[in-house]
Every structure is written in structure tokens, then in C-alpha cells.
Amino acid sequence: MTDFQSNKKLSRAFYKREVTVVAKDLLGKILLKNNRKYPLAGKIVEVEAYHGDFDEAAHSFKGRTKRTEVMFKEGGYLYVYFTYGAHFCCNVVTGKNGQGTAVLIRAIEPLVNFDIMINNRFGRKLRNENEIINLTSGPGKLCKAFNIDKSLSGIDLLGDKIFIIDNKKLKEKAIGISKRIGITRSIDLPWRFFIKDNPFLSRK
């Protein structure tokens, strides 16, 4: 029993707060997915906030569609989308019902059952240690490693299949802030949050 497993699952109230607050507070927390027998777990080290009201980069900006419906739930649900014909990305829905705000999980530091994540991601065993740093250092990569796909979109993070558990609060000076990555609109919002100097970030 590793120590983080005795910590508490994050509450509905945690997720229902304002999206940038939740985004920052998710850093250092543990994402856990219960597989058949072995749990997959990793520390969240990089996130981005998206806000449907005035943020043109958010999928929810243009209103409800079949794809983005999940993003308008109340905080504490998972929103998964498919992009570039190849990758799934997972988000934590935040705020009140109908708001359309969510936090994209961009990078994770793997903690347990590396062999399963490695197999999920590469379809084989580890060839060299350099592949560890590349395992979950990006939104598409971590979904592959955790085997997260669209079938999990809309799932409740207060359930037992996939959830996030609490961890020690980070010091303010350990957190970095920047513009978001890979978008073409509303590019100046400083809504990317990351743990400074963590080796598992999507960009140096």
C-alpha cells in the first residue's frame, strides 16, 4: 500500500470551483485508474484551463454539441475527445452545471505499474530508460498509457473506475504559469499551469 492510496478522493465541491483555481490545485494530485487487477496511477504535473464563455479555444465556446455536451456537466466528470485522427485527450469538467469549463490534463508523472503503461503505449516492453520520460509527457501520450478513450467520456470522477486523490498542497513558488500550447485562438490567456522543473512536462 503506497502512501497516496490512503489519501482522500477529491470531492464534488473541489471540482465545482472556478476553472483556473481547479486547474492550479490539480497539480500534484494523483490520477488513479482501476484496471482489472492493477491500478494505474500518476501525479498530475501539467494542466490547462478552458472556459466556454469568452475563451475561443475552448470546445464549449460555440455552445452545446453532441461532442461537447459532457463539458457542460457540473464539476467532477471526465470529458474525453479524439483529435488529429489519432489521439485522445482527457479533461476534468469544472464549475456549475451548464458552464462549459474544463481542465485539460497535459502531463503526468507515472507512479506505479510502469510495465502496464509501457505496454499500453508502445505495445511492447521497455527498450531503454529514455522511454520512461516519454511515457506520459503529453495529453495524447498519457491517455494511451492509461488506456483512456471516448468510452470514458462522461464518467463520474467520484466513482471507482477513475478518480483523483488528494496530495500535499504545492508551494506557490513551485508552480509555473504560461500561455497554452497548440491552440490558434485566445492564445494570450495565461492558463497553462505546471510543476516547475518536473522532468515529465510536455515541453521543457
Give the interface with DNA as residue ranges (CB under 7 A).
48, 50, 57-60, 62, 65-68, 71, 81-87, 89, 91, 102, 104, 121, 134, 138-142, 150, 180-185, 202
Q: Which is nearer to DNA, 8 or 54 (CB)?
A: 54
What gap in Å lies between CA 107 and CA 148, rounded to an integer? 14
Q: Which is nearer to DNA, 6 or 130 (CB)?
A: 130
Contacts of 84 (CB under 8 A, 6+ apart): none
Q: Taking the complex as a whole, how short is the minimal distance between the CB of residue 64 and DNA, in angstroms?
A: 8
Q: Taking the complex as a whole, how short is the minimal distance between the CB of residue 5 and DNA, in angstroms?
A: 27
Whole-angstrom Cα Rg for the chain? 16
What gap in Å lies between CA 102 and CA 50, rounded to an integer? 5
Cell numbers at 169, concatenated: 498542497
Q: Which is nearer to DNA, 60 or 99 (CB)?
A: 60
Task: Supply angle C-alpha 191, 58, 153, rounded to 5.
Answer: 105
Contacts of 176 (CB under 8 A, 6+ apart): 193, 194, 195, 196
What gap in Å lies between CA 194 and CA 204, rounded to an integer? 11
Q: Which is nearer to DNA, 4 or 56 (CB)?
A: 56
Query: Taking the CB of residue 153, how many other CB atoms lie within 10 A of it?
Result: 20
Pairing verdict, β 39-51 and 87-94:
unpaired
Q: Taking the complex as a whole, how short is the minimal distance between the CB of residue 100 and DNA, in angstroms?
A: 9
